[in-house]
Every structure is written in structure tokens, then in C-alpha cells.
Amino acid sequence: MEHILTVKNLTKKFDYLTAVKDLSFTIEKGNVYGILGPNGSGKSTTLGIVLNVVNKTKGEFSWFDGAISTHEALKKVGAIIERPNFYPYMTAVQNLKLVCKIKEVPNDKIEEKLALVGLLDRKDSKFRTYSLGMKQRLAIASALLNDPEILILDEPTNGLDPQGIHQIRQIIKKIASQGTTILLASHLLDEVEKVCSHVVILRKGEKLYSGRVSDMLASHGFFELKSTQTEALINHLKGNLSFGEIKTQDGLITAFLKEDISAEDFNRSLFDKGIVLSHMVKRKESLEEQFLELTKTQSN
């Protein structure tokens, strides 16, 4: 597998604060990665370091297996960090022409990318007249000018209204479907869950997990059950070794699985025991629940 980015033992200290602590991970071609973590967990600092705007304290990173220097590599990368930064007095097209010059790519993709983000009709308006949503979309267009090997997005929907968030997500999905590697930093878990196949989870600058979203917790999921025969149901669950923790809230019983049982088999066994369910759902923890679980166990 081709490595797009390799980060090894990266550390960044700001005076007394250690923003990133001994962080290592790799980004492989073709996957969609999420960097997750609460505010201040070192996501933006990590991205800043690999993007050449923040100096590292220790450790190393290399782009494309170290074949080329960082600034040359960045020409093959598209990145948006926090707020979109452009020259306010220049129009969208002028700004993008400048980016083309920096990235050393021809100007002929400008119209195409502006169309992709839906800004073609405002291409000759000055950047300062744009709304935040439009600015963010222009930033995406700019990041795509070189048809990058990897697209890095840091909190791309921060501060946008629901419509703007929806637009940005649609664009990200479209890009992901074209096979571009994406690295998405966010504290919005449902956002990551919707688009990412892999995650790196950070807390206070330390890595808690990196790997597939589906392998994050070694969990078999849980059943949500309701029945009029609540006590019989709970007793049955407690007697069944396949179940671990059992929680009851407002008549809804949540039973966590220790091993995999199909919903069908479980339902049949209950029915045989004479317990009839009025509600039954089998599902896995959402990313949010898994994330809270992970960060909780680490903090204890």
C-alpha cells in the first residue's frame, strides 16, 4: 500500500503545554480518514505541522514515503485549515489564479472547480463580499485545483448554517466517491461517521486509537428491548451468559452482548420462553457512543 503521509513520534510543545505528544500514524491511499478529538486535543496543531506552518518540537513526518520535500509535496495536497484565507480585494478567479501559480498548475481547471462547488455565477465577485459558506466552498475549490492526491479538511463545517453544512458534506462525499484520499479533522462525530472509513482519535495530544471505524471497540453491539413482562425478561437476560451489562431506563431495556447472537435466534428463544416483545432493536454503538466510551476509559 502506498503511504501518503507517515507521522512518527511527533511532539509539539507550546511553552508549558504539550499540544501533541509522541503521535504516530499513517495515511494510506484511497481511504477516508477522520481525526477525532475534543477541542484543544491537538488536531489542528498536528495538521499545521504536516502542512509546514507550525514547527515541530520532536519527531518526524514524511509525505509520499519521503520521496520529495515538504513544500513540493504540498503542491500535490489540497488543504483547508479552519477559516478560509484569501486576498479580500481579489475576485474568486484572481485568487484561484494565484493559487495555480503557487501550485504550478495551469489555470484551466478554475472554471470546472468553481462549478463543482457552485460558485461559477459569482466568480468575478470580490472575496470580501462572500458569505462564510461561500468562502468555505471557494476554499474547497482552491484545494481541488491540482486534483490533489489527498484532501485535508480541518473543521470544514465550523460556523456554517445547516444549509451550508449540508452543501459542504455533499461536496465531500462527491470527492470521496471519486477515490480521492481525504483526511477530515472534526469534533463533530456524526460528520466523521458519515464519511470516514478510518479514524485517528486524539485526546490532549495523545493518540487513543487509530484504525478502522468498525474495529474501534471490540463490541458485538446491543439489544434494545421492551416488553410488558419486564421482570421475566430481565431475569432471562441475567441468566443468559451471552449478555453482559443490562440497563433499564423508562421501561427500555438495553442489553449489551458479549458474543454475537442474531436477532432472529434471540427473538425465537424468548418466544419459546413465553416472553413476547413489543420492541426490539439490535445495533452497534454509534461513533459518538464509542468515542465517549473510549475517552472515558482512558480518563479513569
Partner 1 sequence: MIRLLEIEFIKLWNNRASKVLIISYFILLTSIALVAAIKFDIGPIKFHLADIGIFNFPYIWHFNTFITAFFKLFLAIVIVSMMANEYSNKTIKQNLIDGLSKKEFILSKFLTVISFSVLSTVFVFIVSLILGLVYSDFDELPIIFSDLEFILAFFVKLMGFFSFCLFLGILVKRSAFALGFLIIWQIFEGIARGLMQWKLFDGATTDTIMGFFPLQSMFNLIKEPFTRLDAVQTVADQVGEKINLNYHVHWYEVLIVLAWTAIFIYLSYALLKKRDL
Q: Which residues bind partner 1 (CB under 8 A)?
A: 14, 48, 51-55, 69-75, 77, 79, 81, 83, 85-90, 94, 97-99, 101-104, 142
**Rounded to 5°, angle at Cα 143 from 140 and 146:** 135
To the nearest whole angstrom, how small is the minimum distance from the Cβ of residue 32 to partner 1? Answer: 20
To the nearest whole angstrom, how small is the minimum distance from the Cβ of residue 38 to partner 1? Answer: 21
Q: How many residues does the chain have?
A: 300
- Judged by beta carbon, residue 55 or residue 300, the one nearer partner 1 is 55
To the nearest whole angstrom, how small is the minimum distance from the Cβ of residue 109 to partner 1? Answer: 14
To the nearest whole angstrom, how small is the minimum distance from the Cβ of residue 120 to partner 1? Answer: 20
Residue type, 224: E
**Rounded to 5°, angle at Cα 47 from 84 and 24:** 165
- Judged by beta carbon, residue 69 or residue 297, the one nearer partner 1 is 69
Q: How far apart are CA 90 and CA 204, in angstroms?
A: 39
To which H or E segment does residue 95 belong?
A: helix 92-103
To the nearest whole angstrom, how small is the minimum distance from the Cβ of residue 83 to partner 1? Answer: 7
Cα 183 off chain centre by: 7
- Judged by beta carbon, residue 74 or residue 110, the one nearer partner 1 is 74
64: left (phi over 0), alpha (psi -120 to 50) or beta: left
Q: Please name every residue paired with 293 in a beta bridge, in sequence order, or none if there are none.
A: none
Helices (H) and strands (E) in the chain, counts: 10, 13
Q: How far apart are CA 248 and CA 238, in angstroms?
A: 13
- Judged by beta carbon, residue 85 or residue 269, the one nearer partner 1 is 85
Contact criterion met (CB below 8 Å) for 17 and 41: no
- Judged by beta carbon, residue 5 or residue 253, the one nearer partner 1 is 5
Contact criterion met (CB below 8 Å) for 199 and 209: yes
Residue type, 95: N
To the nearest whole angstrom, how small is the minimum distance from the Cβ of residue 250 to partner 1? Answer: 49
- Judged by beta carbon, residue 89 or residue 271, the one nearer partner 1 is 89
DSSP 91: B
- Judged by beta carbon, residue 70 or residue 240, the one nearer partner 1 is 70
To the nearest whole angstrom, how small is the minimum distance from the Cβ of residue 205 to partner 1? Answer: 15
